[in-house]
Amino acid sequence: MIRIKALKNGFRRCGIAHPATPVEYEDGHFTAAQLAALQAEPMLSVTVTEDKPEKTGKAK
At 4-19, the pLDDT tens digits run 999 999 999 999 999 9
pLDDT at residue 60 above 60? no
CA dihedral 6, 9, 12, 16 (to 10 degrees): 90
**What separation, in Å, do the N-terminal and C-terminal C-alpha atoms of the chain show?**
14
pTM over 0.75: yes
Q: Is 4 exposed, middle or buried (0-12, 13-18, 19+ CB in 10 A)?
A: buried
59 near 39, Cβ under 8 Å? no
pLDDT of residue 50: 82
pLDDT at residue 55 above 80? no
pLDDT of residue 58: 59
Domain boundaries, the chain: 2-53
